[in-house]
Amino acid sequence: MRDKFVIDIDKVNQVVAWQIKDNLTVEDVAEASTLIKNAFAQLEKGKIKVLADNRLMVKNGHPIVFRPEVNAAWEELQKWTMSYLEKVAVLCNGPLMKMQMDRVAKNSGIFQFCKHSWDDDANKMKEEAYAFLEISSNRLLDVA
């Protein structure tokens, strides 16, 4: 699973960051959900910021699009996270993913906390996410 999903916790800034690097199955989402819930348990409820990096979700030059059952599993996780969240920034790999992330967030009810970004300039997109989350860096993304 580590080759598909990597997570990092920044306790100082109350940030849970993750990268999705490959297509996920429903079983992978269940495992990621456990990791995310464990990370949230280490931070202050209602103050958690999420930084999700989906820019690497590309296979053979094409963006990875989650299957409907995987989207449904993510929606369930997002519903669970609502009472924990302050803000969510998602870095997308293209306009199609941005539309998909907007739809999933609307369906789960967390859209009001979210900023989904897509830009040809990856650094600009990352800096906008940092500004939105009010952080200056992130261990996971700054090495990517």
> pLDDT tens, 75-88?
899 889 999 999 99
pTM metric for this prediction: 0.91
CATH class of segment(s) 5-142: alpha beta
Question: How many Å apart are CA 97 and CA 20, to the nearest integer?
Answer: 13
Q: Along the chain (144 residues), what's the average pLDDT of each consecutive run of 10 residues?
A: 92 97 93 97 97 90 85 89 94 89 84 91 95 96 78
In the block, residue with structure tokens 């103050």: 47
Query: Which sequence spans correspond to the domains of the chain?
Result: 5-142
Work out the percent of the chain whose per-residue pLDDT is above 70.
Answer: 99
Q: Specify the pLDDT at position 144.
A: 54
pLDDT recorded at residue 60: 82
